[in-house]
Structure 1
């Protein structure tokens, strides 16, 4: 796994914790619409959807569906499953 991808996913983990709340299971959760519209995230991530897909593939986050689209996917929960990238 490239260092750049690891660094991007680690930043994503930090931003989910900053913007999200803990659910009943103690996991961090944030709506896709919240993270995609956040100014700080817009500055950090060139390809937020790509970073989310890479994180999902590695089991770091979980969300419904394959592709998230602004507007249509705004209410989709992104659940943080791991606090580090392996």
Structure 2
């Protein structure tokens, strides 16, 4: 699977699992994404896909790298539909 395709799937999963925040953007906690069974089956390297989507300015999250447990409450925000 190529990175472009995985990023597209990630955007779809953020829409599925997330909800609108105060700014009207769709947001989901990293822990929700990481622990979701469907995401686990779709993404071999979720963190790598998140970094690729962030580089493309499709999503935003605090920090450079998200780790399970430590960053479960970090918001992953969809910037564009």
What is the TM-score with the length of structure 1 in the denominator? 0.91
Give CA deviations for 1:32-77 in whole Å, capped at 9, x if unaligned. 0000000000000000000000000010000000010000000000
Corresponding position of 1:24: 22
Corresponding position of 2:51: 53
Give CA deviations for 1:7-52 in whole Å, capped at 9, x if unaligned. 1000000000000001122110000000000000000000000000
Structure 1 Cα separation of the partners of residues 24 and 10 of structure 2: 18
Three-state SS of the structure 1 residue aligned to 2:52 is helix
Write the mapping of 1:2-81 to structure 2, written as runs, cut at 5 A.
Answer: 4-81=2-79
Aligned length: 81
Three-state SS of the structure 1 residue aligned to 2:3 is helix
What is the TM-score with the length of structure 2 in the denominator? 0.96
Structure 1 gaps of 5+ residues are: none
Give 4+ residue runs of structure 1 displaced > 2 Å after superposition: none
